[in-house]
Amino acid sequence: MSDSFTADVTESVDAPPVVDTDEPRRQASSIEMQGLHKRFGADTVALDGVDLTIEAGEFFTLLGPSGCGKTTLLRILAGLEDADAGELSIGGRTITEVPPHQRSVNTVFQSYALFPHLSVRDNLAFGLKMRGLPAAERDARVARIAEFIKLGDLVDRRVEQLSGGQRQRIALARALVNEPDVLLLDEPLSALDAGLRSQLQVELLRVQKRLGMTFVFVTHDQQEAMVMSDRIAVLNGGIIQQVGPPRDVYERPVNAFVARFMGHDNLFAITARQGNRLTTTLGELQAESPGAGDLLLIRPETLDLLAGDVTGVNHLPARVTERLYRGSHAEYCLAIGDTTLQATLNNRGRHLPEVGDRVTVVVAPEDLVTLSE
């Protein structure tokens, strides 16, 4: 049996007792990482000194592009990879050298790793059977988790007869039935269509909040991370760039990489400063409390557009070069001299400028964010 599957269906022998899944978990485990390093070969640095604390009961997301180190970090948590250096603890217990089958950690993989020829019931019971639990206790746990995850009417079907969304829920239930201290989720929704993915994001979040368990979720999808997470760690090149609640990471990125990865295109060089006044490639702007940094971020949804030329603080004359109608909102591309600015306007009860219109862009001083490259 492979290590990856062993970690998915087994847990520590001194795991917490059975809990009633109709009630939230009363205890959850924190995770501490100190100085984790991992290299593959001579030239590939996967993790470069990761220090991170995940609080007990958090829905915590590791976010970043392919190759940033997020999956390597998850596999080290699961015991499927060994760190070259550093310390790792869960619930105050150092597990750096603890093998996968002795960690109270379960993993839900992108591929689900289910047995297609077995029934849902047998898939859910497999890990419990491997641990030697009596049949009566196995049956009780399986029945309870199946009802909790809304699989009760599917337990006697074979996995190969089920949809992708149903299989995802089975994979989640199989991980939860072992009652681990920490649940690791490696992009488990990435193979689903957009509508089902959105539905299961909400369902997964509700399960986590109801159980009060510590979830560590890996994704490269910014929207998914913001919807589901208590906190997000953005990684790049094996280094954590920023850790914080979704709103902070989105609205106040600490550097240009985080800003661009969160979808921000409105980044402009700051060429001079005088108090709160910033000279930028857009023109002169007044910020409420500018911090250090040589770049200015303007989020497109913070902008307003006025018809014609209107003067005032942080009023910039522009021309509409492109408009994309999105139903609830419209996205604009605006020319300000030789510089391009993106803006997003809510459609409710307003006249929308057309391509070619002369407009005035208005940005509030409190919405200007300075950051470093």
162-217 pLDDT per residue, tens: 888 788 788 888 888 888 889 999 988 877 778 778 888 888 888 888 888 999 99
User: What is the average pLDDT score of the chain?
Assistant: 87
**Range of the structural domain that residue 205 is part of:** 3-257
For 114-135, the pLDDT digits (tens) are 888 888 888 888 888 888 888 8
CA distance 279 to 296: 10
CATH number of the domain enclosing 298: 2.40.50.140
For 314-368, the pLDDT digits (tens) are 999 999 999 999 988 999 999 999 999 999 999 877 788 999 999 999 999 999 9
CATH number of the domain enclosing 239: 3.40.50.300
Q: What is the pLDDT of residue 5?
A: 28
Q: What is the pLDDT of residue 27?
A: 66
Are both 145 and 26 inside the same structural domain?
Answer: yes
Single out the residue in 257, 284, 313 at which a domain terminates. 257
Q: Is the pLDDT of residue 235 over 60?
A: yes
The predicted model gives 66-94 an average pLDDT of 95
Single out the residue in 225, 257, 289 at which a domain terminates. 257
Are both 169 and 279 inside the same structural domain?
Answer: no
Are both 197 and 250 inside the same structural domain?
Answer: yes
CA distance 89 to 187: 23
Q: Are 284 and 364 in contact (CB under 8 A)?
A: no
pLDDT band at 373 (very low <50, low <70, confident <90, very high): confident
Helix (H) or strand (E) holding 51: strand 44-54
Are both 229 and 212 inside the same structural domain?
Answer: yes
Q: What is the pLDDT of residue 114?
A: 83
Are both 87 and 127 inside the same structural domain?
Answer: yes
CA atoms within 13 A on the CB side of 226: 12
Q: Please give the structure tokens belonging to residue 311.
A: 């003067």
% helix, strand, coil for the chain, step of 5 = 30, 35, 40
Tell me how far the alpha carbon of residue 264 is from its chain's centroid: 17
